[in-house]
């Protein structure tokens, strides 16, 4: 059997492998503090569960429209109006299998073989593999704390080539938790538009911001793509549901691709998600956001005391991206030792790109504050023992 050549370029998602190792240790009785997982630890909000149960009990669990349930697309449009004061036509909203499905559809209609997509490095690992799977080329823009780990308009211009078709950014970003303000997004959009390219903005961590509000790129107009999901803020990772807001002239192309790739998004997940925007659900989600903020405020100073350097405060998502170079030469080795010797699972920089991965680790505050405190105590002992 011959495997497609592209597969040699598709790297495993190391965090999933680390998680599997942590689970194996747990199966042997070890207590592990999980700070590797980019997944909220809270259960699905009760109103969402009940909506799903009612729908499944009807027995009418069938394909839906390829672009999603009209009433869900409507509900998402209302959410943009209510939360951001931005009018988005429901016809531009495509319901997808998570932000992952949205990214695949958006890139699928934009890029051809050898076309280039500019991405922040460090950034969400799967993005470069989406591009590769579509026979395109992901071009990293190295970003550091001086620009809050976000690419600037000047950097985009400097990395632009005749094959560049699109720029994909995330705000708040994974792994750094940093945001882009609307003027920064506007500057990016202008540079990209002037070159005939397209801006894609991944807003999956919207709703999870601390001390500030994230602004949606949709406020800039309708000539860009916005990706979002029910996974993070809405706490519905396993339901596999997200959405894409597309320029009006692309919706038909996306519809054709979605019909062929997926037929339709999950019907139970869509009916469940109808309850995600109800006031009683939003109240639960706000309490969780406050809890995430509390955890961040425990983890961030704790990591600094240990000797990790965090040059840009994360103001969103649920990650701290920390420079570990004062503590270890290689963060991959450090992550393995923290797991084996201290029972702490955290993600080495390796997953997030090739710009300084050995110097960085990502800690996710997707566990209870007490577990974060326990993790900090264990790390204190671990580093003391090595001095």
Binding site for ligand PLP (CB under 6 A): 38, 98-100, 124, 170, 174, 202, 204, 229, 231, 237, 242
| Shortest separation between residue 341's beta carbon and ligand PLP, angstroms | 27
The H or E element that residue 338 is part of is helix 331-342
Residue placing its CB nearer to ligand PLP in the complex, 117 or 342 = 117
Q: Long-range contact list for 74-79, CB < 8 A, 24+ apart?
A: 75/273, 75/274, 75/277, 76/243, 76/277, 78/277, 79/277
| Shortest separation between residue 2's beta carbon and ligand PLP, angstroms | 30
How many Å is the maximal CA-CA distance in the chain? 63
Residue placing its CB nearer to ligand PLP in the complex, 124 or 225 = 124
Strand order, beta sheet including 360-364: 319-323, 360-364, 347-348
Residue placing its CB nearer to ligand PLP in the complex, 100 or 312 = 100
| Shortest separation between residue 134's beta carbon and ligand PLP, angstroms | 16
Q: Which of 192, 210, 253, 245 has the alpha carbon at shortest distance from 80?
A: 245
| Shortest separation between residue 322's beta carbon and ligand PLP, angstroms | 17
Residue placing its CB nearer to ligand PLP in the complex, 126 or 335 = 126
Which residues on adjacent β-strands are paired with residue 227?
202, 244
- Residue whose Cβ sits closest to ligand PLP: 98
Residue placing its CB nearer to ligand PLP in the complex, 174 or 324 = 174
| Shortest separation between residue 243's beta carbon and ligand PLP, angstroms | 9
| Shortest separation between residue 231's beta carbon and ligand PLP, angstroms | 4
| Shortest separation between residue 240's beta carbon and ligand PLP, angstroms | 7
Residue placing its CB nearer to ligand PLP in the complex, 44 or 379 = 44
Go through 81-101 and write b for each residue having 16 or more CB atoms within 10 A of its CB, e for each that does not. Answer: eeebebebebebbbbbbbbbb
> How many Å separate Cα 347 from the centre of its chain?
15
> How many Å separate Cα 126 from the centre of its chain?
10
**Ramachandran bin of 277, using left for φ above 0, alpha for ψ from -120 to 50, beta for the remaining angles:** alpha
Residue placing its CB nearer to ligand PLP in the complex, 243 or 382 = 243
CA dist., res. 199 & res. 329, Å (int): 36
Cβ proximity of 318 and 208 under 8 Å = yes
């Amino acid at each position: 059997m011959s495997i497609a050549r592209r597969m040699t370029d598709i790297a495993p998602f190391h965090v999933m492998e680390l998680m599997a190792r942590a689970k194996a240790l747990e199966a042997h009785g070890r207590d592990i503090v999980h700070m590797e997982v980019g997944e909220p630890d809270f259960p699905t909000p009760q109103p969402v569960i009940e909506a799903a149960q009612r729908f499944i009990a009807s027995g009418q669990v069938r394909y839906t429209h390829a672009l999603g349930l009209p009433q869900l697309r409507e509900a998402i449009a209302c959410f943009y109006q209510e939360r951001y004061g931005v009018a988005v036509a429901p016809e531009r909203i495509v319901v997808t299998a998570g932000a992952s499905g949205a990214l695949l559809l958006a890139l699928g209609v934009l890029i051809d073989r050898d076309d280039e997509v500019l991405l922040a490095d460090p950034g969400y690992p799967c993005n470069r593999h989406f591009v590769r799977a579509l026979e395109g080329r992901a071009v990293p823009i190295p970003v550091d704390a001086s620009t809050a780990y976000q690419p600037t308009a000047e950097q985009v211009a400097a990395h632009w080539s005749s094959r560049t078709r699109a720029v994909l950014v995330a705000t708040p970003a994974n792994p750094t938790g940093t945001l882009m303000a609307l003027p920064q997004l506007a500057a990016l959009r202008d540079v990209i538009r002037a070159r005939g390219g397209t801006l894609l903005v991944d807003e999956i961590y919207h709703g999870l911001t601390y001390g500030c509000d994230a602004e949606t790129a949709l406020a800039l107009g309708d000539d860009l793509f916005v990706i979002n999901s029910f996974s993070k803020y809405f706490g519905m990772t396993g339901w596999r549901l997200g959405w894409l807001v597309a320029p009006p002239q692309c919706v038909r192309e996306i519809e054709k691709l979605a019909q062929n790739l997926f037929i339709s998004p999950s019907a139970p997940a869509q009916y469940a998600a109808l309850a995600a925007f109800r006031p009683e659900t939003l109240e639960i989600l706000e309490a969780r956001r406050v809890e995430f903020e509390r955890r961040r405020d425990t983890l961030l100073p704790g990591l600094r005391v240990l000797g990790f350097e965090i040059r840009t405060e994360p103001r969103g998502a649920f990650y701290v991206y920390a420079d570990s170079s004062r503590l270890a030469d290689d963060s991959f080795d450090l992550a393995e030792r923290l797991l084996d010797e201290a029972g702490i699972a955290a993600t080495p920089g390796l997953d997030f790109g090739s710009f300084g991965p050995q110097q960085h680790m990502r800690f996710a505050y997707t566990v209870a504050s007490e577990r974060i405190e326990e993790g900090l105590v264990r790390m204190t002992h671990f580093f003391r023992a090595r001095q």
